[in-house]
Amino acid sequence: MSVLAQQLVLGLLIGGLYGLAAAGLSLVFGVMKVLDVAHGELIMLGGYMAFFVVALVGLDPFVSLLVVIPLSLLLGLALYWGLFGFVVRADEETRVKNSLLIGFGLALALHALAVLLWTADERSIITPYGGTVLSVGDLSIPVVRLVSLGVAFALIGGLHLLLARWRWGKAIRATAEDWQAALLTGIDVRRAYLLAFAIGTGLAGAAGTLVTVGYSVSPSIGLEWTLKALIVVVLAGLGSMIGTFVGGLLLGVAEAASAAAFGGPYREVVGLVIFVIVLVVRPRGLFGR
Amino acid sequence: MLEIRDLDAAYGDIRVLTGVTLSVGPGEIVALLGPNGAGKSTLLNSIAGLLRPRAGAVRFEGEDLGRLHAHLIVDRGVALVPEGRRLFGGMSVEDNLELGAFAARARPTRAAGFERVYALFPDLRDRRRQLVRALSGGQQQMVAVGRALMTNPKLLMLDEPSLGIAPRLVRSIMESLAEINRGGVAVFLVEQNVQAALGLAHRAYVLESGRIALQGGAAELLSDPHVRRAYLGPLAVRP
């Protein structure tokens, strides 16, 4: 029993990262109708940024977020100006197709670049408190992962407030609902796209940092994280960041439960099963509008 | 104020408007009538910048709107209440109205804009925290007009504001348009409800198959045999 509970707790902890990883993808897809399949690679890049900021500057990994998130925002701006800004000029059907092509190309390029620059080795950020474990009854909770969950939740909460209160946050939501109506209220929707993409990339950077602290980073983690994020986006639906986060937690717990019930290899299968079931039964997702 | 000359518009290969010429002067209420598919919405979308004209000119206060992005056309003082209202259903009434004041020209008048809209539609003040999709059709139309009014327009264009709302509310919407017009805003109104539109407008154009078929004063058109036969039906009562 306690083994199962321990598994579920670990699932919950990684689920927070799934939620954070999915939030950026969901924002970009919801607003731009562009499916950025290189999202996982952006997470990977964020992980390396954090790794080097910690290794070279000596910052605490959680403090390094203050560097990694702005850098990722800038990366997002550059990618929008260089690549995705051209995609949104097409009509919506063409957009998804073109963005898939661009996204796959970008994913391959970033992966190759990362191998070239940093080799294919796995790296992780080692902290003095890395091995600290909180014991609650029979359960052992790794402190780093617990803090990561808290940070992920705080970031999602911050994003939620940003979208709810900020002038451009409302403009982003309006653009997601109906971009033509947004134009008619005087919103420059291209700028809303730009902001959404930059914020999405910033979130990917934050997710990458937390992944590298709690787990590890290597050039090939991108695809796995893109898949997890996609599953969560389908599970949770578009339109609510809090819903996306909850979706991430659910996926983490479901994976842990199936690993405990059927054995480790089934961890990856459960997400895909959920993916298909949700698409068939409730295509707009659990919390989607 | 609004001058359209020889406008052609098309969706892909499908030509919708051919050589449309019309104008709306300051302080005027002008109606655009015509059957479904005549190209009325296309004309409004071309003015608002949602569709690029193929040929011809759309000028507002002397400036060529054909070169401007849609959000900048709003900033010049041209607002459109689109067909089907196109509100942000997941947001509150207040947020919808606030987004109307997004353009630079509207930001200084934001507070006054809220007062103006709530004075015009007192219902909305009580419902300002409600989600728009929970409102009735008539109330949603009020939000749509209010959102456009928040842009502080010089010219307010409306695409079928009476569509899908109760007849009693149609009159109230038309009255509010007259009220808005008395405040100095020119109104360009596309309507299927010919009686209501001509009751309100000073002048009107009739668009058929993408061309202006007829134009004139509202009273004149109301008694025109073709208009009566085509748009008011055989039972229409002579005014």
Q: What is the pLDDT along chain A (289 residues), one digit of tens a residue?
A: 688 899 999 999 999 999 999 999 999 999 999 999 999 999 999 999 999 999 999 999 999 999 999 999 999 999 999 999 998 888 877 888 889 999 999 999 999 999 999 999 999 998 888 889 999 888 999 999 999 999 999 999 999 999 999 999 999 999 999 999 999 999 999 999 999 999 999 999 999 999 999 999 999 999 999 999 999 999 999 989 999 999 999 999 999 999 888 888 888 888 888 888 988 888 888 887 6
DSSP secondary structure, A96-142, as one string: HHHHHHHHHHHHHHHHHHHHHHH-S--B----TTTT-EEEETTEEEE
Residues 6+ apart with CB under 8 A from A178: B86, B88
Smallest Cα distance from A114 to chain B, Å: 40
State whether B82 and A184 contact (CB < 8 Å). Answer: yes
Residues of chain B with pLDDT > 90: what percent?
82
Residue B118 structure tokens:
């709530």
Q: What angle do CA B30, B35, B37 make, to 5 degrees?
A: 105
Q: Which residues of chain A are within 8 Å of residue B151 when distances are taken between CB atoms?
A: 185-186
State whether B102 and A184 contact (CB < 8 Å). Answer: no
Could you tell me whether strands B2-11 and A139-142 are parallel, antiparallel, or unpaired per DSSP bridges? Answer: unpaired
Nearest chain B alpha carbon to A180: B50
Q: Which residues of chain B are within 8 Å of residue A174 when distances are taken between CB atoms?
A: 88, 91, 99
Q: Which of A167, A174, A188 comes nearest B88 by C-beta? A: A174
Collapse the DSSP code of A193 into the 3-class scheme (helix H, G, I; strand E, B; otherwise coil) and give the result: helix
pLDDT at A239: 85
Q: Which of A184, A188, A289 to mutate to test the interface with B (most CBs of B within 10 A)?
A: A184
Please indicate if any CB of chain B lies within 8 Å of the CB of A189: yes
Smallest Cα distance from A148 to chain B, Å: 31
Q: Which of A165, A173, A185 to mutate to test the interface with B (most CBs of B within 10 A)?
A: A185
pLDDT at B36: 87
pLDDT at A96: 84
Pick the CATH number of B2-86+154-232 from 3.30.70.1560, 3.40.50.300, 3.30.70.120, 3.20.20.70: 3.40.50.300
Instruction: Spell out the domain ranges in chain A.
Output: 2-117+137-281
Residue B202 in contact with residue B30, Cβ under 8 Å?
yes
pLDDT at A1: 60
CA distances B102 to A61, A250, B72, B145, B211, Å, are 39, 38, 11, 15, 35
pLDDT at B226: 86
Tens of pLDDT along B45-78?
A: 999 999 999 999 999 999 999 989 999 999 999 9
Give the count of beta carbons closer than 10 Å to the beta carbon of residue A289: 15
Residue B74 in contact with residue A186, Cβ under 8 Å?
yes
Q: Which residues of chain B are within 8 Å of residue A188 when distances are taken between CB atoms?
A: 69, 71
Q: Does domain A2-117+137-281 have CATH number 1.10.3470?
A: yes
Q: Mean of the pLDDT values across residues B156-172?
A: 90
Above 0.85 for ipTM, yes or no? yes
pLDDT band at residue B166 using 50, 70 and 90 as cut-offs: confident
Tens of pLDDT along B185-209?
A: 999 999 988 888 999 999 999 999 9
List residues in chain B touching A: CB distance below 8 A.
Answer: 48-50, 69-71, 74-75, 79-80, 82, 86-91, 95, 98-100, 102-104, 106, 147-148, 150-151
Among B134, B130, B126, B128, which residue's Cα sits nearest to residue B97?
B128
Tens of pLDDT along B7-57?
A: 999 998 899 999 999 999 999 999 999 988 899 999 999 999 999 999 999
Please indicate if any CB of chain B lies within 8 Å of the CB of A184: yes
Q: Which residues of chain B are within 8 Å of residue A167 when distances are taken between CB atoms?
A: 102
Instruction: Spell out the domain ranges in chain B.
Output: 2-86+154-232
Residue B239 has pLDDT above 50, yes or no: no
Q: Which of B46, B99, B152, B156 to mutate to test the interface with A (most CBs of A within 10 A)?
A: B99
Hey, which residues does A134 pair with through a beta bridge?
A: A141
Q: Which residues of chain B are within 8 Å of residue A183 when distances are taken between CB atoms?
A: 49-50, 69-71, 74
Q: Which of A178, A183, A189 comes nearest B88 by C-beta? A: A178
